[in-house]
Amino acid sequence: MSGAEKLRVRVSEITPINALVTRFRFERCDDKELPTFSGGAHTVVEMQDDGVTRLNPYSLMSDPYDQSSYTISVRRDDTGRGGSLFMHQRVKAGDEMTISYPVNLFSLDLRARKHLFIAGGIGITPFLAQIHQLERFNSQWELHYACRGKSLGSYADELTSRHPNQTHIYFDDQSQTIDLPHLLEGQPLGTHVYVCGPKGMIDWVRNTASAQGWPQDNIHYEEFVSPQPGKPFEVKLSVSNKTIQVGEHESLLEAMEREGVDAPYLCRGGACGQCETAVIGYDGKFIHRDHWLEPQEHKSGQKIMPCVSRFEGKTLVLDR
């Protein structure tokens, strides 16, 4: 079986947060306690969407030590492949769903003397759980959170009222921006910086910190990309001896699963490396979208991450 262990849950509460973001609360169907987790963990939510199984990862935002329920926040993406729309439009309170055990690919480094969080938009969610965890141990942290405007600043008010001294909010529509070089320069030794948000923001923080001489081990980021639609293509799977078609709106991983090929995965967002697959032969070009493989591996034509990457061309043969 691929992926993490599964949990059957009931949607106990659906709360609209603003025009784009909705929060979902899950409780166990058997009314037992949920497992505790570590801040930064995500769960993979299974959606049965008219015969198509969608598996989307969402950061757990609730207190990791609250075993009565988990919460996630889903930002509606009107141009995406439909996972967030399914959550927003089709999921109702009382529905039963399957989610995975927590998996953490964005863990706190507990050696840190101070944790500096930089969030953009919906990237705030893993930090909400991490803040709960750190507050429990009176650890030192500080949050800098950029959002489009007051009306779309999910949880900005709550954070400000609960942690006025640690929370700093920046509204794009008021031309407020994080003074990053200054912020990074002023940090005490032993600080770890964590960034979660759009790709541009992640690159900005990583590059600025590196340029200032921050150790690589002290810079943490989480960037899940979601699979993008693309031209359909055909793949030959040599181990399972099958030739399969990947549709416009599904990923290569999803197509393999649809055909009953058990392919490993965890994050489904190009970050964890679980689904790495060897290429046996190809005639065409790869559209690599993951953060796992090194640039030279992307160029080599020997590996692909089927959760987010695609192919255009005549033939592709994979070791799967």
Residues that bind another protein (CB under 8 A): 4-5, 35-38, 40-41, 64-65, 101-104, 107, 109-111, 133, 136-137, 216-217, 266, 272, 274
CB 138 → another protein: shortest distance, Å? 12
Q: Alpha-carbon distance 237 to 258, whole Å?
A: 13
Q: Alpha-carbon distance 80 to 248, whole Å?
A: 12
Q: Could you please report the per-residue DSSP string of 148-209?
A: S-GGG-TTHHHHHHH-TTTEEEEEGGGT----HHHHHHTPPTTEEEEEES-HHHHHHHHHHH
Q: Alpha-carbon distance 141 to 118, whole Å?
A: 11
CB 7 → another protein: shortest distance, Å? 9
Residue (36 or 243) nearer to another protein, CB:
36
Q: Alpha-carbon distance 302 to 277, whole Å?
A: 9
Residue (101 or 204) nearer to another protein, CB:
101
Q: Alpha-carbon distance 255 to 235, whole Å?
A: 10
Residue 317 sits at φ, ψ, to 5 deg, of -120, 125
Sign of the torsion angle spanned by Cα atoms 251, 257, 261, 267: positive
CB 3 → another protein: shortest distance, Å? 9
User: Under a CB-based contact definition with an 8 Å cutoff, are residues 56 and 268 in contact?
Assistant: yes
CB 266 → another protein: shortest distance, Å? 7
Residue (12 or 107) nearer to another protein, CB:
107
Residue (1 or 19) nearer to another protein, CB:
1
What angle (nearest 5°) sits at the alpha carbon of residue 240, between those of residues 239 and 242?
120
CB 300 → another protein: shortest distance, Å? 18
Residue (41 or 124) nearer to another protein, CB:
41
Residue (18 or 67) nearer to another protein, CB:
67
Q: Are strands 310-318 and 233-237 parallel, antiparallel or unpaired?
A: parallel
CB 38 → another protein: shortest distance, Å? 4
CB 32 → another protein: shortest distance, Å? 13
Residues 6+ away with beta carbon under 8 Å from 28:
7, 8, 9, 10, 34
Sign of the torsion angle spanned by Cα atoms 60, 63, 67, 71: negative
